[in-house]
A and B are shown apart, each in its own frame.
Chain A
Amino acid sequence: MIVVAAIAAVFLAAAAGMALGRIIRGPSTLDRIVGTDVLLAITVCATATEAAYSRDATGLPILLGLSLLGAAGSVAVARFADPVARPSPAVSPSLPGRGGAGAAGSMGALSGAESPGNDHPAPADPTGHQESTGRARGPVSTRRSREARE
């Protein structure tokens, strides 16, 4: 079992490193979200592998929490990064507190991605009223998810 655990640890560590690489390289906010998602999945896998190796169930409640709430963060950030749902650029810097500068920077990174994304016109959205609630909620939920991650 120690051999299995060692090999699995090497694989998972390499995968986590690559996910980190994607988080660092970006180039867009959404790439980083995907990287974070993978990193989270790898964390869950690693915790479960540790439990399997040591036959110790202490870590399992952590897995419950992560698997339930892991999606919430990326949903929040994706909602915020949506070019249709997000507030107009004049409004977006009004993010509260310390998040302001970072959020503005990430917005720039989002539009300056590998494809010249901005020439793609924001398509008309069939579910208009849902978008407007998303607009109202976007910044708040993002701030919450940030606080949750710190």
Chain B
Amino acid sequence: MVRGRDRLLAIVALTVVWMLLWGVFSWVTLLGGLLVSMLVLTVFPLPPVTFAGRLRPGGLLRVAIRFLTDLVVASSQLAWTAFGGRRVPHSAVLAVRLSVRSDLHLTLCAEAVSLVPGSLIVDMDRAAGILYVHVFDVTGPADIDQFRRDVRDLEERIVRAVGSDAEIKLINEAATAGSTSTVGGSR
């Protein structure tokens, strides 16, 4: 049943891409998209990555807005560093442990972290749910703590946008239990 839901989601997503490619929203592109995406999913089946959550419009909007502001702030800071003085910028490689450990969630968090300039995923421990992030232009321990908090906030926003109820519960527990949580697996 879960597989069926995943397949349905994939078909919908591929159909949307197909319609965007054509740029025409009509019955022809809709039916054509359904046909092509079913064909594609039959020939190239998806790996078993399940999407257990629900899409929440409010949470998605919050993620998008916050992501864009982060992007602008980080990009301008980095541009300033690039054009700026002779100071050699320092960095740090940090380990950030996520509360939710499903593969999809790990991927989403890693993508969001590495899309923002100034943080780059160097490695990750999939079993333990740890991201190793190279952070650029760090001046001291305060920056490091701030960055850890930023990533945790990001994770929380992502879970509240697309996570399942169980994952949201996990996040709430982690938030009340304190910052460095070692809560068990997601399911």
Contacts and interface: CB of A to CB of B under 8 A. Distances in A.
Q: Please determine if A and B sit in direct contact within the complex, based on CB atoms under 8 angstroms apart.
A: yes
Interface of A: 64, 126-127
Nearest to B127: A126
A126 B21 CA distance: 40
Contacts of A127: 126
Give the 4 A-B CB pairs with smallest separation, nearest first: A126-B125, A126-B127, A127-B126, A64-B21
Interface in B85-134: 125-127
A127 B124 CA distance: 11
A101 to B, nearest CB: 31
4 contacts: A64-B21, A126-B125, A126-B127, A127-B126
Nearest to A125: B123
A66 to B, nearest CB: 15
Interface of B: 21, 125-127
Nearest to B128: A126
Contacts, number: 4
B136 to A, nearest CB: 14
A64 B21 CA distance: 9
A126 B127 CA distance: 10
Contacts of B125: 126
Contacts of B127: 126
B30 to A, nearest CB: 20
Contacts of B21: 64
B71 to A, nearest CB: 15
Nearest to A126: B125
A128 B81 CA distance: 39
Contacts of A64: 21
Nearest to A127: B126
Contacts of A126: 125, 127
Nearest to B21: A64
Nearest to A61: B21
A58 B161 CA distance: 37
B58 to A, nearest CB: 29
Nearest to A123: B123
A126 B126 CA distance: 9
A64 B20 CA distance: 12
Nearest to B125: A126
A126 B125 CA distance: 8
A127 B127 CA distance: 10
A64 B22 CA distance: 12
B37 to A, nearest CB: 16
A64 B125 CA distance: 33
Contacts of B126: 127
Nearest to A64: B21
B97 to A, nearest CB: 16
A64 B126 CA distance: 31
B121 to A, nearest CB: 13
